[in-house]
């Protein structure tokens, strides 16, 4: 990865970079264009407005949810747009939980017929789900279906984009959506706008992403965000490497053939309790806050605090 001081454009997988591109009022046309590639014709967005990212539960003891981006279209359709940098236990469960907030906020006082506006939960993932590691599809579009695979309910949709699976080269881009994913995946490492991306919407996106245009405060915020992203990647990579080494050694000691392959398989199953504990401890050593660690790894803050005090 390039050093950020030499890079011309931001890393969109950082919190700052993601929200700079898609979370600012002045740049909402970029988010609209990106989302419209994922939506059916009947739900195309003409305009949208951003809503408060922090959602509180209905009761004092209810959990809250903090969305990266939460917005609503001109038709009242709700969109949660998330960037998930690290594999998290029960991420799908969390996505379903998050979806309950835009559903519940539609409840009206007094007489109400329960008619709901569509809700979309869209997640850009910098990892691959464990339950289909060997698949090739990078886009998952999930709706509730019945036992004959017909759509039972079309107003709640989950869209997961597994970016590590997107491996198309410039000359293989066929759709506008392909171009968006290429832009997001390779932006930080580009020095010039590729010919295939010389369209007005992408030229505007490149302008927004140009680091040289940032004021001193924006530059500082980006540097902090990039450091956080790199530290997190280092924590994950270290945990995986150590798990691979341990599992490979164990396999070799048992005389199992292809010990390295077994080690890799075991190493990338980070969701196991032993690996989760190791990742949590590494994150604590790196100086992440209790709240940050709890959010990243999908655990209670009390568990993180307990480990921190041991």
Which pLDDT belongs to residue 87? 79
Rounded Cα distance, 31 and 204, in Å: 12
Rounded Cα distance, 243 and 237, in Å: 10
Which pLDDT belongs to residue 86? 78
Separation of first and last alpha carbons in the chain: 35
Which pLDDT belongs to residue 281? 77
Rounded Cα distance, 118 and 77, in Å: 5
Rounded Cα distance, 142 and 140, in Å: 6
Tokens (6 digits) for 217: 């405060």
- CB of 183 closer than 8 Å to CB of 197: yes
pLDDT string in tens for the chain (310-residue length): 444 448 999 999 999 999 999 999 999 999 999 999 999 999 999 999 999 876 545 444 345 567 889 999 999 999 999 998 877 778 899 999 999 999 999 988 778 889 999 999 999 999 888 876 667 789 999 999 999 999 999 999 999 999 999 999 999 999 999 999 999 999 999 999 999 999 999 999 999 999 999 999 999 999 999 998 888 777 766 666 666 566 666 666 665 555 555 555 555 554 456 667 777 777 787 777 888 777 777 778 888 888 888 7
Which pLDDT belongs to residue 238? 66
Which pLDDT belongs to residue 270? 46
Which pLDDT belongs to residue 271? 43
Boundaries of every domain in the chain: 15-213, 217-309
- CB of 284 closer than 8 Å to CB of 293: yes
Which pLDDT belongs to residue 23? 95
């Amino acid at each position: 990865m390039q050093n950020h001081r030499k890079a011309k454009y931001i890393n969109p997988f950082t919190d700052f970079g993601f929200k700079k591109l898609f979370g600012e009022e002045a740049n909402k046309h970029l988010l609209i264009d990106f989302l419209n590639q994922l939506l059916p014709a009947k739900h195309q967005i003409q305009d949208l407005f951003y809503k408060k990212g922090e959602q509180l539960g209905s009761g004092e003891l209810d959990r809250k949810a903090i969305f990266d981006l939460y917005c609503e279209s001109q038709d009242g359709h709700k969109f949660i747009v998330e960037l998930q940098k690290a594999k998290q236990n029960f991420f799908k469960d969390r996505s379903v939980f998050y979806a309950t907030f835009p559903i519940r906020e539609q409840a009206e006082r007094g007489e109400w017929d329960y008619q709901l506006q569509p809700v979309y939960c869209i997640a850009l993932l910098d990892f691959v789900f464990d339950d289909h590691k060997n698949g090739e599809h990078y886009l998952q579009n999930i709706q509730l279906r019945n036992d004959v695979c017909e759509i039972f309910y079309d107003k709640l949709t989950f869209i997961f984009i597994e970016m590590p699976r997107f491996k198309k080269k410039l000359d293989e881009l066929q759709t506008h959506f392909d171009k968006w994913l290429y832009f997001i995946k390779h932006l930080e490492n580009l020095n010039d706008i590729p010919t295939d991306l010389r369209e007005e919407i992408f030229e505007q996106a490149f302008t927004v992403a140009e680091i040289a245009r940032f004021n001193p405060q924006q530059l500082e915020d980006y540097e902090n965000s990039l450091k956080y992203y790199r530290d997190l990647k280092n924590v994950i990579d270290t945990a995986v490497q150590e798990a691979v080494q341990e599992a490979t050694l164990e396999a070799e000691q048992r005389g199992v053939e292809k010990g390295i392959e077994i080690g890799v398989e075991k190493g990338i199953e980070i969701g196991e309790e032993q690996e989760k504990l190791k990742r949590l401890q590494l994150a604590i050593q790196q100086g992440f806050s209790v709240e940050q660690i709890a959010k990243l790894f999908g655990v209670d803050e009390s568990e993180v605090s307990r480990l921190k005090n041991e």
